[in-house]
Chain A
Amino acid sequence: MTFLANLSRRGLLSVIALLGLAHAAHAQTYPSREITLVIPFGIGGSTDIIGRQLAGDLAKVLGAKINVENKPGGTGTIGSTQVIQSRPDGYTIGFVANDALVLQPLLNPALVFKSPDDYQPIVKMGYRSDVLYVRADAPWKTYDDFVADAKRNPGKMRIAIPGVGTLGELTVQKLNKVAGVRMVTVPFSGGGAEATLAVLGGRVEASAGSVSVGAGHVAAGRLRALAVFQRGKHAVFPEAASIDDAHGDVSILAEFYLFGPKGLPKDVIDKLVAAATQVGRSEEWAAFAQKQDFTPDVKGPDATKQDLLKQGKDFAERLADK
């Protein structure tokens, strides 16, 4: 039993430490104690699923415990703020998507972070695209049916999205514009799992969410993947229509970053970058990513920062275009 072995070893160590005999046993190299990885989204949503896998893999590479802490709400800003305001010692880091980090500051001027200068981007882990789900017994067999119906009935189609001011909202806005329809977004602040429940329960017509929150239900014959928010065929749902092929550049990819508070010591950043890069390039990660329809795209702190700045510009333009 590793746990028990661990227990007794720790117990013994601490007794020794208490006696003052082994005070030097705790070398101050990072990480010397457990790390908290804050995931600013609800449990079971896609950020959570990817973040928890990352936490597990990072823990192995770093040789430290990583506690995952879900801090949902405010479209990811509550948890992100917690990370940004934490002590920059590397023991509190966050795993977050671009909606919280890039879009939210544009919508909410009161946030403590405005640009990548206010926090420390560590590594970009990858991206993925959302899927438009409807119930399997819905009248729309294809995406064209869906759009045609939306055209006939402005304001009738309600699309569940994970929260106010998320990328889904911006995407649907642009879709409305280029496709000449008026669909309504319905936010569920509990994240993708709640939005999926809403479409399963027939309370909304459709939901825009990740592969991971819906694929199980599609396989069980309860949901249908009508379209994907990307260009070209989708690996998991090849039969689904491509929204960008139909209307041009509409979709925004969801991108995932490991980040921390501003002012992390350089050795901590280097360690985390090395560890996350090793994880992101591993075969296990590739296999996991494929299952979760997540494309690994590992970038270091500087390249990640450029990415974030570029997206900020794009989102600001979309918002101005509203």
Chain B
Amino acid sequence: MDPIEGLLYGLSLAFTYQNLLAAFAGAFAGTAIGVLPGFGPTAGLALLLPFTFAMGPSTGLIMMASMLYGAMYGGSTTAILMNMPGEAASVMTCIDGYKLTKKGRAGAVLFIVAAGSFIGGTISVVGVMLFVPTLAELAIIFGPGEFFALTAGGLLLLSRISAGTLAAGLLPMAIGLLLSTVGQEAVSGQYRFTFGVNDLSQGLELAVLAVGIYGIAEVMFVVESLASQGKPMRVRVREMLPTREEIRRSWAPIGRGTIVGFLFGLIPGPATTLSTFTAYRLEKAVSKYKDEIGEGAIEGVAAPETANNAAATSLMVPLLGLGIPFSSATALMLGAMMVHNVQPGPLLMTIHPEIFWAVIASMFVGNIMLVVINVPMIGLWVNMLRIPAYILLPTILMMAVIGSYSLRNSMFDVSLLLVLGILGYVLRKLDFQLAPLVVGVVLGPMIEKHFREGLYMSQGDLSVFWGSPIAVGIWSVVFIVVALGLMSRLWKRIFPAGEGEG
């Protein structure tokens, strides 16, 4: 089957009354689940998976894909409206998204996010459709050496993810790295810094961390200033639609986000989260409006949100092409296929073309459903901000507790929520940045794993970390960005204010 023929065949599978209904139900459930802080796409898919057993493979996959996109969008909604990231992949969205909400642009941001997600997702599907076998090769050439370069180099760049002094980014990042080492380490199973506490041996749950330091801390901020603002928590709700200016400024970030997300989905690792970090950092480096990013610029939301949808889509490439899922979400899709005795792999397209094209079609349908369900709901979401604070805040807290508890049925995690909330509150009061802390927790374990496994592989030869063209390429990019950053600062010091343009 050639791609067009295949796609038409896939769409003919998708556009039945039953499958569209499944897509609608999936996207709806996904959005609801995503809104629950701490509950992301993976947890949502896990809840949904058993329902799909009773369905045909294509119906099940279509429902899951719709759910996946719905949940990612739902997670961003709370990040934008309440500074409460539903999961690690929405942390970057908080920074500018919430500031824009405070400026009364919540409706516009949600609209741009839906549009960006749709565009990123759809372009990514086309990429998946046309290039699965070729692109799958990219995953194969990424080994510990390349991955160490990517994660360690990424850490270097991300330590200065937004403005502020050196310490304001570095200290939170170091704290994040430290937190990531608590628990049983992955490579050889040693217990570290657990002080004999069993709950600590499983390490820190990322979503709990994000909800705690962002969401709980935010609620604390709002509560302390409740009386001083005339109308509590009253965020101005202006037009729901983005202005022409906002749309114009979003095109380039959406384009860049699509590319970043698409590429990240192809390599092994937590692609959706990493792609948001990278997309945000990229905007900060190249956007025409880079000085506004961090203060509430549409670019800072459009790019990462587009990227995570593009990544969630291209994650299907290694799954379909190699039979290897790189994320928990794709693993659950794999589960849905295996229940029907379909084993993805290099021969999937030949042996089970109907499954391959059903997956492709499901991603198209999922992206469309995302828009169909969520654009009309923007008004509803934004109007949630009109709910009086004394009702909204306790409700948010309660949802944070439900979400954090149910991730791994742990009361310990819920208690952590409070501790992390206080930590986030203190750090924010002193003008420290929180995003580097999350970055440290995400990247720390990956850096360690790939460093140690790389050395095992090379038998102690350190050159494994810069020995391949890809690793050299990554290090060069890191070096150039760091050097440019230093030079521009030097430039500004020599020619202060105004003259330093360029």
Task: Name A residues whose Cβ lies closer than 8 Å to a Cβ of B.
Answer: 1-4, 6-7, 36, 43-44, 48-49, 52-53, 56, 59, 65-75, 77-78, 81-82, 85-86, 92, 104, 107-108, 110-112, 155, 158, 163-165, 184, 186-190, 193-194, 196-198, 200-201, 203-204, 212, 216-217, 219-220, 222, 288, 291
What are the residues of chain A within 8 A of B183 when measuring CB–CB?
Answer: 78
Q: B184 contacts A73, CB within 8 Å?
A: yes
On whether A187 and B187 interact (CB within 8 A), knowing A4-B21, A82-B202, A216-B346, the answer reads: yes
Which of B18, B328, B345 is within 8 Å of A43, CB to CB? B328
**Residues of chain B contacted by A288 (CB below 8 angstroms):** 341
**Given A104-B189, A165-B188, also A188-B338 (CB < 8 A):** no
B51 surroundings in chain A (CB, below 8 A): 2-3, 6
CA distance A92 to B53 in the complex (A): 21
Contacts known (A198-B143, A201-B141); A68 close to B335, Cβ less than 8 A: yes
| Closest A-B pairs by Cβ, 4 of them | A216-B345, A74-B189, A43-B331, A220-B346
Contact B324 A49 (CB under 8 A): no
* Residues of chain B within 8 A of A65, CB atoms compared: 50
CB distance from A256 to the nearest CB of B (A): 16
Q: Is the CB–CB distance between A2 and B54 below 8 Å?
A: yes
Report the Cα distance A158→B18, complex, angstroms: 51
B126 sits at the interface (CB 8 A): no
> For residue B331, which residues in chain A have a CB less than 8 angstroms away from its CB?
43-44, 48, 70
Chain B residues 316-349 with CB under 8 Å of chain A are 322-325, 328, 330-331, 334-335, 338-339, 341, 343, 345-347
B53, B141, B324, B453: which contacts A44 (Cβ < 8 A)? B324
Q: Is the beta-carbon distance between B187 and A81 smaller than 8 angstroms? A: no
Contacts of A197 in B (CB 8 A): 139-140, 142-143, 268, 322, 324
Knowing A44-B324, A44-B331, A165-B189, say if A4 contacts B25 (CB, 8 Å). Answer: yes
Q: Is B287 an interface residue (CB 8 A)?
A: no
Encoded as 1 (CB less than 8 Å from any A CB) or 0, chain B from 211 to 224 comes to: 00000000000000
- B202–A220 touching, CB < 8 Å: no
B432 to chain A, nearest CB (A): 30
Complex CA distance for A68 and B333, rounded to whole angstroms: 13
- Contact pick for B189, options A7, A67, A77, CB 8 Å: A77
Query: Which residues of chain B from 96 to 144 have a CB within 8 Å of any chain A CB?
Result: 139-144
A1 to B22, Cβ gap below 8 A? yes
Assembly CA distance A212 to B189 (angstroms): 25
Q: Are A78 and B22 in contact (CB under 8 A)?
A: no
Docked CA distance A222–B294 (Å): 47
CA distance A1 to B62 in the complex (A): 14
Please tell me if B229 contacts chain A, counting CB pairs below 8 Å: no
Contact flags (1/0) for B137-161 with A, using CB distance below 8 Å? 0011111100000000000000000
Complex Cα spacing A289 to B371, Å: 42
Q: Is there an interface contact between B338 and A186, defined as CB atoms closer than 8 Å?
A: no
Cα of A44 to Cα of B330 in the assembled complex, Å? 10
CB distance from B20 to the nearest CB of A (A): 11
Q: A4: which B residues are within 8 A, CB to CB?
A: 21, 25
List chain B residues, Cβ under 8 A from A110.
Answer: 190-191
Q: Please name all residues of chain B whose beta carbon is closer than 8 Å to the beta carbon of A201 when the two chains form the complex.
A: 140-143
B178 within 8 A of A: no
**How far is the CB of A123 from the nearest CB of chain B, in Å?**
21
Contacts of A67 in B (CB 8 A): 46-47, 49-50
Q: How many B residues touch the partner, as a band? A: 35 or more
Contact present for A193 and B324 (CB under 8 Å): yes
A to B contact number (C-beta, < 8 Å)? 154
Residues of B within 8 A of A163 (CB): 187
Q: How far is the CA of A72 from the CA of B53 in the complex (A)?
A: 24
| Chain A residues in 8 Å Cβ range of B18 | 1
Binary CB contact string for chain B from 275 to 308 against chain A (1 if under 8 A, 0 otherwise): 0000000000000000000000000000000000
**Interface assignment of B228: CB less than 8 Å from any CB of chain A:** no
Complex interface: chain A residues within 8 A of B409 (CB)? 36, 86, 92
- Cα distance A193–B457 in the bound complex, in angstroms: 16
Contact B186 A73 (CB under 8 A): yes
Q: What B residues does A193 contact at CB under 8 A? A: 324-325
Min distance, Cβ B443 to any Cβ of chain A, angstroms: 16
| Complex alpha-carbon distance, A49 and B323, angstroms | 11
Apart from A3-B25, A43-B331, A78-B189, list 19 A-B contacts with CB within 8 A: A3-B22, A3-B54, A3-B63, A44-B325, A53-B338, A68-B49, A71-B202, A74-B184, A78-B202, A82-B408, A164-B189, A165-B188, A184-B459, A186-B457, A189-B186, A189-B187, A189-B453, A196-B324, A204-B457
Sample of 9 A–B contacts (CB below 8 Å) = A44-B324, A52-B339, A67-B49, A81-B201, A108-B190, A164-B188, A186-B457, A189-B453, A197-B142
Inter-chain CA distance A181–B55, complex, in Å, is 53
The distance in angstroms between the C-alpha atoms of A82 and B347, with both chains bound, is 37
Which residues on A sit within 8 Å (CB–CB) of B22?
1, 3
Within 8 A of A (CB), among B48-73: 49-51, 53-55, 63
Contacts of A188 in B (CB 8 A): 453
In this complex, the member of B18, B53, B63, B186 whose beta carbon has the largest number of chain A beta carbons within 10 angstroms is B186
B202–A81 touching, CB < 8 Å: yes
Chain A residue nearest to B24 in the complex (CB):
A4
State which of A44, A112, A222 has its C-beta within 8 Å of the C-beta of B346.
A222
Contact B347 A73 (CB under 8 A): no
Tell me whether B456 is interfacial, beta carbon within 8 Å.
yes
Instruction: Return A153 CB to nearest CB of chain B, in Å.
Output: 13
Query: A44-B323, A158-B457, A189-B449 known; A164 and B187 CB under 8 Å?
Result: yes
State the CA gap A70–B184 with chains docked (Å): 15
Contact A186 B456 (CB under 8 A): yes
Q: Please, how many angstroms separate the alpha-carbon atoms of A53 and B334 in the complex?
A: 11
- Distance in angstroms from B237 CB to nearest chain A CB is 31
Q: State A161–B65 Cα separation when bound (angstroms).
A: 33
Q: Which A residue's beta carbon lies closest to that of B54?
A: A2
CA distance A85 to B186 in the complex (A): 19
Q: How far is the CB of B449 from chain A (nearest CB, A)?
A: 6
Chain B residues near A59: list those with CB within 8 A. 50, 53
Of residues A92, A193, A204, which shows the largest number of chain B Cβ atoms within 10 Å of its Cβ?
A193
Contacts of A104 in B (CB 8 A): 189
- B334 contacts A43, C-beta separation under 8 Å: yes
When the two chains form their complex, are residues A74 and B140 in contact, meaning their CB atoms are under 8 A apart? Answer: no
- In the docked arrangement, what's the CA distance between A16 and B189, Å? 48
Is B246 located at the chain interface by the 8 A CB criterion? no
Inter-chain contact A77/B184, CB cutoff 8 Å: yes
Inter-chain CA distance A119–B502, complex, in Å, is 66
- Minimum CB–CB distance from A103 to chain B (whole Å) comes to 11
- What 1/0 flags go to B235-279 for Cβ under 8 Å of A? 000000000000000000000000000000000100000000000
Nearest chain B residue, comparing its CB with the CB of A45? B324
**Cβ A203 vs Cβ B457 within 8 A:** yes
| Contact indicator A112/B21 (Cβ below 8 Å) | no
> How far, in Å, is B467 (CB) from chain A's closest CB?
10
* Least distance between A227 CB and chain B CB atoms (Å): 22
Chain A residues with CB under 8 A of B456 = 186-187
B318 to chain A, nearest CB (A): 9
In the bound assembly, the distance between CA atoms of A70 and B189 in angstroms comes to 16
Looking at A92, A190, A288, which has the most chain B CB atoms within 10 Å of its CB? A190
Q: For the complex, is B354 an interface residue (Cβ under 8 Å from A)?
A: no
